[in-house]
Chain A
């Protein structure tokens, strides 16, 4: 039995985790979602913005991490538009601009925000940190047109916007490099603008020291963070919908880890006993 379990085909593990993920979609469990301190900080940063504040939202993620970052972006846009804030969207990742367009349109439909007066999508710019540095005093130099080719001057909400100093809050959705770290280095470090972020779970450990040091004022960590934020907004979305499945998969993985360690320990004990018996003989 022990030998069989020790050499268990890993495809059984894949199957077990798949079942653990699918079951909550068929029979929803409705597990409670507890809001973390970091998510509360993120929420409060937006809550404290005065009406008419300008927020720069950076969409730095691709299709691979859409499931984690996109629900955060949708929820934050809803939050900002209901608080009558203005959003300048841009992207340091090529696909980010397309996700920005999708999220902005959905949020506009939900809240009645208007393109050009409440939000603008400046599109993607290659160069990462260099773009942030170069656009520091004059965003228009790097983004002369929006994603659809409309010139900067023809967009009403961009009147009065120059560099990072004229932005009230930076909100970066980040899955790696370039991402929130670049914003902290350039926009936070040199222009002292407040930064909040939503990261993939993989990127979160890298960003957490920056949260503890106050360089990032609030963070949403992966799908869990997104679901907590949706709960705070009383607007359950894609992230909250997937949380039961995420929790079940974690339980399954934890069970496998415990099982593997117990089997390892039993095997070791058996080998030790066998060697003692062999030595005695």
Chain B
């Protein structure tokens, strides 16, 4: 693959900005702030352009230009939402906000119940005996005990004493193990980002070497 001087220049800009950001690990400094400001500015510009060309233009302006005047209602509601920028008329923005909250709440109740509550509850109704092997039986028992004890921990209508107290204590352990696993995944994700940057630095070097004709 041919590498142009402009490509190499772009790669070095990226590498330099990455190093500026990493310099914050040592301490706050002007290089870090420079990179941070560039990032904020570029992101704001990018999202503004994307917002206009990929959201407003095709979904509203183009449809109004096509003569579909139903979208004028959406335009008015959008305009009302912008009134929140003026404290005196901020109350006008509450109406479209209420509309959005209502729509999303109605939407989510149905789908959340279907996909996240009912499906998950049915998945906890598992066979505790008569499984093909003992590992499946053990897994099903762990699911049952884990769900019941975690629910016991969040059951506040009775004092956590006796059987409920013991179950709640086991529930705490289940939750702790869950948090530990989640933390492990988070560590993996963050380290992956660092690995990604190191691979980028390696690519910068490889491409530069290729451009200079030394590899």
Interface residues of A (CB under 8 A from B): 11, 14, 17-18, 21-22, 25, 64-68, 94, 123-126, 129-130, 133, 181, 184-186, 188-190, 200-202, 204-205, 209-210, 212-215, 221-224, 238, 241-242, 245-246, 249-250, 253
Contact = CB atoms under 8 A, between A and B. Distances in A.
Contacts of B114: 185, 189-190
Interface string B189-204: 1011111111100100
- Contact residues of A: prevailing secondary structure: helix
A185 B202 CA distance: 41
Contact of B123 (A64, A205, A212): A212
A242 B199 contact: yes
B189 A186 contact: no
Which among B51, B112, B199 has the greatest number of chain A C-beta atoms within 10 A? B199
B156 interface: no
B194 A249 contact: yes
B215 interface: no
Contact of B195 (A200, A212, A246): A246
A245 B182 contact: no
Contacts of A212: 123
B192 A223 contact: yes
Contacts of B182: 205
B188 A94 contact: no
Interface residues of B, number: 37
A190 B119 CA distance: 13
Interface in B42-93: 46-47, 50-51, 54-55, 59
B26 interface: yes
B186 to A, nearest CB: 5
B111 A189 contact: yes
Contacts of A186: 111
18 contacts: A11-B26, A14-B25, A21-B198, A64-B193, A67-B193, A67-B199, A126-B55, A184-B115, A185-B115, A185-B116, A190-B114, A201-B188, A202-B189, A205-B178, A205-B181, A209-B120, A212-B123, A249-B194
A72 to B, nearest CB: 12
A222 to B, nearest CB: 6
A68 B192 contact: yes
A67 B192 contact: yes
A95 B199 CA distance: 21
A223 B195 CA distance: 10
B173 interface: no
A184 B197 CA distance: 32
B187 interface: yes
Contacts of B198: 21-22, 25, 242, 245
B188 A222 contact: yes
